[in-house]
Structure 1
Amino acid sequence: MDVHKPLIGVLDEPGDYRDALADTIARDGLAVLAAERLEDLPPETSLVVAHARAIPSLEWASLTERLPTVVVSDSRLDADLLTAVDVGLVDYVVEPMRHGQLLRRMIRKAIELHRLEEERDRDRERLAELNESLETHLALLRLDQQAGGQIQRKLLPPHAQTLGGVTCDYWLMPSLYLSGDFLDFQRFDDRFSLFYFADVSGHGASSAFVTVLLKYLYNRWLSEWDGEHPDRLPARWLRALNRELLDTGIGKHATLFIGVIDHREHCLHYSLGAQLPKPLLVSDGCIEELPGEGMPVGLFPDVDYPRLCHTLPPNFRLWLCSDGVLECLPGETLDLRLRELERRVLTCTTLEQLRDSLALALPRDINVGEDHSGEDLPDDLTIMMLSGFGDDHR
């Protein structure tokens, strides 16, 4: 027997009728084995052709559950035929000897359909296994991201710290557990404090790794600085960071603002790389953008960054926002959103006021007073406010 041929079992009482039925089925090269009971058929049987009279009514259900079944009968009025129809046979043929070609086609079609059904079942099982594996990996990834987010938050400066009469506070909400936004504010000595505000392209793990690199380089360069020429420091650091990001080859760039506050002279030495929105300085009811232009960090080699200086008036508030804040503001154009941000900054005297005003545009299930992942956010949201020299707001 050709092992590649599907085996068709014929169930009927022994006799000339069963032999003729087996011969009719075998004419197109199908392998046929006739038997009186289902138990007599080998395990490799692909399909059963059963005469309605050969199977007791109570056994039709178990037969159709085990193998695809085609029923033959000599009359449409056969009561056993109706029973077989009710329990789920593949198909039936009345007077099979007269319709041999139809019967053989039905058998081949039934075998093919059964094969496809088995493949679908296997595919469903494999898919269920893959889904379970994926859920496990996603859960591990989520735990890793949560742990990474906690570590990243530990690298941030303390909230509302005051150095030399200047208070720094901030609010950061990542769109994932890890953030591409980052900032720092540190004292160098009694005269100088330094800070930076960064927005790395993208968000998630790869962008967060860049913020860790930035934190490391910032601390290293700060420890190497001798306190001389504060006006040159921000631009020099941006150039160095630009080279570092290009050398890593990770395809990440960032917008940055680096500032050195001179507490003695009440001035800010700074440099910036494509910071948007521009830093906003508020004093005596007036608001202005800090002037200056610069290229993003990590995109182009041999970039020079501007060396800028601005006087810090009494009772000043300096606001820095990531571009994710613009997603929370009304306006059809970028210019309208920037003007709206200026209006809100001018009327807000605390970080909490600006944060709460943006909450109206955030998803309702996000508590803006907490530091956690805002998975429904289109981008990371970060606000940093520095105030000082007579400003009592913290």
Structure 2
Amino acid sequence: MPPAKQLIGVIDVPGPERDALAETIARDGLAVYAADSIEGLPPETAFIVAHSRAVPSADWKRLAGRLPTLVVSDERQDADLLRAVDAGLVDYIIDPLRHGSLLRRMIGKAIEVHHLAAEREHDRARLAQLNEDLEELNESLETHLAMLRLDQQAGGQIQRKLLPQRPQTLNDVTYDYWLAPSLYLSGDFLDFQAFDERYSLFYFADVSGHGASSAFVTVLLKYLSNHWQHEWDGEHPEALAPRWLAALNRELLDAGIGKHATLFVGVIDHQRRYLHYSLGAQLPMPLLVTDGQVTPLSGEGMPVGLFPGVDYPWLGCELPEHFRLWLCSDGILECLPGDTLDMRLRELERRVLTSETLEDLRGSLALGALSDDDESVAESAPGHEELPDDLTIMMLSGFGNDKP
């Protein structure tokens, strides 16, 4: 039964029969208000019980449109009763005074159904409003995403401007590379510069992760490497690479940005044809191709930016007149067949051995279809989505390879 606060309006002509009808309904705790027309009912009325004789035929639809209404009559063949039912009222009952219990149950059930219908309508309205709000939110998100996309594209273009021109020949060593970001910005980075006629310097970096935060570290790396190169006096080239890595390790730890990197730093002595280098967890190791053989460079070192007080190794090797030195980021391992890391590394060695140029290696990895044009990559950002990670390949060749 509905709570007592729900008011039942009774519409009937004044007299003992209306009083009896109101009394019958008022049992079981129902609150009843009797009136001779719909205008006489208070606004808090929740349900109407109307006698067919008390409502003009033209008012049934208006009555049904206002509140759920039950029609009562003393006779089944009452013409007004039939017109009321046709108007769409809730239900009807004949001889309500004899069927008081049924009447009250019908009222309670009708009020419950009306309440549920009102809740459903409210839920539909809320759902419609929610859908409208979601559409507005989606439009706002699309706008913000478009702005973020443009910002990321601009950042990617700036990052590419920081890369050196390719290919370049510094003294008698030719440098070439290919960098493919999987998103707008890359965590891979490299640089090469001539210090003077005797020395040239280069590094190859892979910052953990990819995207904006990793790209910021590459900008820091570019700035610091330029700064340290300008401070170098050209003495003790064997110490430059490990000193750079130790200084960068301190910088990343002091910055507290939670980023680390793997790096290979090299100093080529063109007069001696010698490579001084150091590394921090480089994987895969650089591959030196000479006289039809491929040899991974030796050495190991800790990642840069993870542990304080790390000493990085002082390493070096002779460079013959004709050589190719390949450096690849770990993204290349995703492009190679093999169930284990060792199998993929052996496969990489096999492919660099048969590759005379950067394009040869890209072709053997089925990467030839990927754009080599930085501007087209920027315009079609977010980059090379077909790649699972940033991928960078760098090749050094010399000393006699570039001579006619």
Normalising by structure 1, we get a TM-score of 0.80
AA at the equivalent of 2:373 = E
Contact 1:350–1:393 (Cα < 8 Å) also in 2 = no
Local SS of the residue matching 2:387:
coil
**Structure of greater Rg:** 2
Shift of 1:219: 0.4
Alpha-carbon distance between aligned partners in 1 of 2:144 and 2:220, rounded to the nearest angstrom:
27
Contact 2:8–2:31 (Cα < 8 Å) also in 1 = no
Gaps of 5+ in 2: 51-56, 94-101, 378-382
Alpha-carbon distance between aligned partners in 2 of 1:133 and 1:33, rounded to the nearest angstrom:
55
Q: Which residue of 1 aligns with 2:177?
A: 170
Contact 1:201–1:252 (Cα < 8 Å) also in 2 = yes
Alpha-carbon distance between aligned partners in 1 of 2:34 and 2:253, rounded to the nearest angstrom:
72
Segment drifting more, 12-21 vs 185-194: 12-21
Local SS of the residue matching 2:394:
strand
AA at the equivalent of 2:212 = A
Contact 2:47–2:111 (Cα < 8 Å) also in 1 = no
Of 131, 134, 140, 1:133 maps to 140
1:275 aligns with 2:287: no
Alpha-carbon distance between aligned partners in 2 of 1:194 and 1:6, rounded to the nearest angstrom:
88
Within 5 Å, which residues of 2 pair with 1:1-394?
Answer: 54=59, 92-93=90-91, 95=93, 97=103, 99-359=106-366, 367-371=370-374, 372=377, 373-392=383-402
Alpha-carbon distance between aligned partners in 2 of 1:356 and 1:8, rounded to the nearest angstrom:
84
Shift of 1:14: 7.8
- The count of corresponding residues between Structure 1 and Structure 2 is 366
Distance 1:117 1:198, change over 3 A: same
Local SS of the residue matching 1:305:
coil
Gaps of 5+ in 1: 85-90
Local SS of the residue matching 1:231:
helix
Local SS of the residue matching 2:238:
coil
Distance 1:186 1:53, change over 3 A: farther
Write the deviation string for residues 140-183 of structure 1: whole angstroms up to 9, x where unpaired. 11000000000000000001100111111110111111000000
Alpha-carbon distance between aligned partners in 2 of 1:164 and 1:131, rounded to the nearest angstrom:
56
RMSD of equivalent CA atoms: 3.9
Normalising by structure 2, we get a TM-score of 0.78
Alpha-carbon distance between aligned partners in 2 of 1:387 and 1:30, rounded to the nearest angstrom:
101
Alpha-carbon distance between aligned partners in 2 of 1:122 and 1:6, rounded to the nearest angstrom:
31
Write the deviation string for residues 268-320 of structure 1: whole angstroms up to 9, x where unpaired. 00000000000001111100000000000000000000000111112211000
AA at the equivalent of 2:391 = L
Q: Which residue of 2 aligns with 1:87?
A: none
AA at the equivalent of 2:122 = R
Q: Which residue of 2 aligns with 1:88?
A: none
Local SS of the residue matching 2:222:
helix
Distance 1:346 1:194, change over 3 A: same
Alpha-carbon distance between aligned partners in 2 of 1:367 and 1:34, rounded to the nearest angstrom:
85
Distance 1:34 1:163, change over 3 A: farther
Local SS of the residue matching 1:278:
coil
